[in-house]
Structure 1
Amino acid sequence: MYPKIALASASPRRRELLTQLGVEFELVTSDIDETPYAAEQPADYVQRLALAKAKAGLARLAQDIPTLGSDTIVVVQQQILGKPIDFADFQRMMTLLSGQMHQVMTAVALVDSKRSLSTLVQTEVYFRAISPTEMLSYWQSGEPQDKAGGYGIQGLAARFVERINGSYTGVVGLPLCQTECLLQQWQEQA
């Protein structure tokens, strides 16, 4: 259905999601500097990173094939929450998210040497109030350590989510509907 692509991501969640689309892909690494620019808006930041990851992945390939890069961020009160560096940082994040609505933004970029396409998906996630005991228990599970915003909606943190407005798979890390539309658009423009 789709041509073979490269996935510039180390995320097992993105690999699983892309597999659901029936896309044949190879993995490629894409180390980039993820430091936000001064006064960079969250939407601009996540789109820049997705494109940079795709381009970095493409540069590592021996052949020019479409390369998909993606990035996901958690945003509360215009503040980007990255991966927690320790329990105190995680606790700060969970306190900000507890009982509040926040946004999860996932950008997806598809590039080769001649063109690029990208999309941005924003989802509102509503958390119930989370007690300090629940925060500690969740941290001790090991799940939050490598997740943007300190949680994975597809895992144990699902119990904190009252509702979402938008793309569930976008919150997991790769919005399937929008990614498939991007792949279709890519083929139509070939």
Structure 2
Amino acid sequence: MLQEKLAQYKVVLASKSPRRQQIFKELGIPFEIQLKEVKEVYPSHLVAAEITDYLAELKATAFKDSLHDNRLVITSDTIVWLDDKALGKPVDEEHAKEMLQKISGKKHQVISSISLTHQDFQKTFHDITEVYFKDLTSEEINYYVQKYQPYDKAGSYGIQEWIGYIGIEKIEGSYFNVMGLPVHKLYKELMQL
């Protein structure tokens, strides 16, 4: 299975997301975590999945000098795409509330990209999930932001948290993609290495 497929690689997960780390553990992938600071800035002409593909590859460039010893570096990026604009992570409490007010009562897309980078190749792919939110009250938004402090989450929410339970009416596509890792596509691509 996957463990045998990856036995020849030293897998490096370049993510501080506890959700991504948990998914890797549950997939049974032996991995180590390495983090490198990267300024997550992209050219203004990029849209939707072009942004996350670009940022996932940009994060991989920080590892270009450490791709020896058969390392396979896995980087990723997630955005919320709403009204032709990208919503990344909020900078503070007010920004988080503002984002949640924007997605309240609307459909948006969650786009996650993954880049698999090795000294001999780089494969980048993405997934898109449609998420439908009910109208959120200001009390619900305030409660969620104060209790859960979603500052590490694109669009200021986690589908697996309280706001996801009470606010999301339906999704079309992968649940795990909304968590930030399209696991079904990652598995498929790793099995094809």
TM-score, length of structure 2 as denominator length: 0.90
- The range that moved more, 121-130 or 39-48, is 39-48
Structure 1 counterpart of 2:50, from 44, 55, 66:
44
* 2:154 alignment partner in structure 1: 148
- The range that moved more, 156-165 or 54-63, is 54-63
From the superposition, tell whether residues 23 and 58 of structure 1 become closer, same or farther in structure 2 (CA, over 3 Å): farther
* 2:75 alignment partner in structure 1: 69
Structure 1: 5+ residue stretches without partners: none
From the superposition, tell whether residues 85 and 10 of structure 1 become closer, same or farther in structure 2 (CA, over 3 Å): same
Paired with 1:36 and 1:138, the residues of 2 have a C-alpha distance of: 30
Q: Which amino acid aligns with 2:158?
A: G
* 1:182 alignment partner in structure 2: 189
Contact 2:68/2:119 (8 A) holds in 1: no
Determine if the alignment matches structure 1 residue 132 to structure 2 residue 132. Answer: no
**What is the total number of aligned residue pairs between the two structures?**
186
Determine if the alignment matches structure 1 residue 16 to structure 2 residue 47. Answer: no
| Cα deviation digits, residues 110-135 of structure 1 (max 9, x gap) | 01111011211000000010001111
Structure 1 counterpart of 2:65, from 49, 59, 62:
59
Over the residues paired in the alignment, what is the CA RMSD in angstroms? Answer: 1.5
Structure 1 counterpart of 2:172, from 157, 160, 165:
165
From the superposition, tell whether residues 27 and 53 of structure 1 become closer, same or farther in structure 2 (CA, over 3 Å): same
Contact 2:112/2:182 (8 A) holds in 1: yes
Structure 2: 5+ residue stretches without partners: none
Q: CA deviation at 1:62?
A: 6.1
Q: CA deviation at 1:88?
A: 2.3
TM-score, length of structure 1 as denominator length: 0.92
* 2:39 alignment partner in structure 1: 33
* 1:109 alignment partner in structure 2: 115
Paired with 1:28 and 1:85, the residues of 2 have a C-alpha distance of: 24
Paired with 2:28 and 2:103, the residues of 1 have a C-alpha distance of: 35
Contact 1:84/1:145 (8 A) holds in 2: yes
Query: 4+ runs of 1 displaced by more than 6 Å?
Result: none
Q: CA deviation at 1:76?
A: 0.5
Contact 2:82/2:108 (8 A) holds in 1: yes
Contact 1:107/1:120 (8 A) holds in 2: yes
Paired with 1:156 and 1:58, the residues of 2 have a C-alpha distance of: 39
SS for the counterpart of 1:146 is: coil
